[in-house]
Amino acid sequence: MLVRLKNIRVDPFLLMILVTVGVAALIPARGSWATGVGWASSVAIGLLFFLYGVRLAPREAVDGLKHWRLHGTVVLATFVLFPLVGLAAQFLPASVLPRELAVGVLFLCCLPSTVQSSIAFTSVARGNVPAAICAASLSNLGGIVITPVLTAVLLSSHGGFSGRAVLDVALQLLAPFVLGQLVRPWIAGWVARHAKVLKIVDRGSILLVVFVAFSEGMVTGIWSSLSLGALGALLAVDVAVLGVVLAVTAVVPRWLGFSREDRITILFCGSKKSLASGLPMAGVLFAGTGVGLLVLPLMLFHQIQLMVCAWLAGRFARTAPAEPVPAAA
């Protein structure tokens, strides 16, 4: 749910993340406490992806492959177009966008799409909701493998990342996900009945990852190097990345002859990046290197995409063709 504050939609979960960042700034984890919190974060990440595996119905993913043109377009936007735009941002001089933030922008562009907000905005805009469910789910499923590989290829020249991180992802993210799929027939019903409680577990896991990341940043002093000018440049880059992708995902599907409903689905599923998947992945892929500044572009992009896509969904809803009135019996 989004809270409206003076015509601006603010994600309550993002507010919780900001509070967590504030706590990490005031009382960062140090010494043995940092070690314990780090282990807890690793366990929480594994639990998070285990629950992802339990929730995703394999039949839905297989059935969704029938609309392969739409899903292929979303995949290309998510894992090809976005990284190309992220690579273009790397040409900005370090005096404008510091290296850590530039790497964070590129990592952001390697992530899978969101699930909940993609489906919600598609529904509001009167798009193809079943296709959105499949496209978003397939993006997140593929992202468990594609994101680490893209990160290894694109960020290897920047340092701070090694091929061993791919193995770490397999052990910490993919293995719990596969286990969740295996036990799904026995516990899927229980998980569905306790969705509200498990949502707290989901978000608590992500908040723990944020606390660990920003605690490391405070202890190592990386935040002292971030200026208001750099923050403004990051905001401009995030807006530009989203603008380019929105423009392409709006124009190209029309050229390809997709229906209005499918174009809406491609727009919303192909233009967003997942905070829920990105933060845990950053904690695994960049473990030991300090991920505070690296995830800042993602956190900022998350709120920007919510505000822009909320406006777009409302606009699509207002301009949707009127539904035919059924004839009287």
- The per-residue pLDDT for range 24-43, each reduced to its tens digit, is 878 888 877 877 887 887 78
- Identify whether the C-beta of residue 283 lies closer than 8 Å to the C-beta of residue 294: no
Give the pLDDT confidence of 157-213 residue by residue, as tens digits.
Answer: 554 455 555 566 666 667 787 888 888 888 888 888 877 777 777 777 777 777 876
Is residue 74 predicted with pLDDT exceeding 60?
Answer: yes
- Identify whether the C-beta of residue 302 lies closer than 8 Å to the C-beta of residue 15: no
Is the pLDDT higher at 252 or at 172? 252
Lowest mean pLDDT among 34-43, 87-96, 211-220: 211-220
Can you give the pLDDT at residue 173? Answer: 66
3 state SS of 319: coil
Q: Which of 149-163, 173-187, 220-234 has the highest mean pLDDT?
A: 173-187
Is the pLDDT higher at 221 or at 207? 207
On whether residue 55 sits in a domain, the answer given is: yes
Can you give the pLDDT at residue 259? Answer: 92
- Identify whether the C-beta of residue 262 lies closer than 8 Å to the C-beta of residue 128: yes
Mean pLDDT of 217-246: 83
Mean pLDDT of 82-99: 91
On whether residue 31 sits in a domain, the answer given is: yes
Lowest mean pLDDT among 76-85, 207-216, 284-293: 284-293
Average pLDDT, the chain: 79
Residues 6+ apart with CB under 8 A from 116: none
Can you give the pLDDT at residue 168? Answer: 61
Largest CA distance in the chain: 75
Give the pLDDT confidence of 106-139 residue by residue, as tens digits.
Answer: 999 999 998 777 877 888 888 887 788 788 878 8
Is residue 44 predicted with pLDDT exceeding 60?
Answer: yes
pLDDT band at residue 270 under the 50/70/90 scheme:
very high
Is the pLDDT higher at 122 or at 328? 122
| CATH number, domain with residue 144 | 1.20.1530.20
On whether residue 151 sits in a domain, the answer given is: yes
Can you give the pLDDT at residue 282? Answer: 82
On whether residue 3 sits in a domain, the answer given is: no
> Of 182, 203, 211, which is closest to residue 47 (Cα–Cα)?
203
Q: Give the domain range for residue 215.
A: 8-317
Can you give the pLDDT at residue 119? Answer: 78
Q: Which of 7-11, 59-63, 149-153, 194-198 has the highest mean pLDDT?
A: 149-153
> Of 202, 220, 191, which is closest to residue 288 (Cα–Cα)?
220
On whether residue 322 sits in a domain, the answer given is: no
Can you give the pLDDT at residue 265? Answer: 93
Is residue 293 predicted with pLDDT exceeding 90?
Answer: no
On whether residue 251 sits in a domain, the answer given is: yes
Residues 6+ apart with CB under 8 A from 291: 213, 216, 217, 282, 283
pLDDT band at residue 264 under the 50/70/90 scheme:
very high
In the chain, the number of structural domains is 1
On whether residue 324 sits in a domain, the answer given is: no
On whether residue 2 sits in a domain, the answer given is: no
As a whole-number percent, the residues of the chain with pLDDT over 70 amount to 80
pLDDT band at residue 263 under the 50/70/90 scheme:
very high
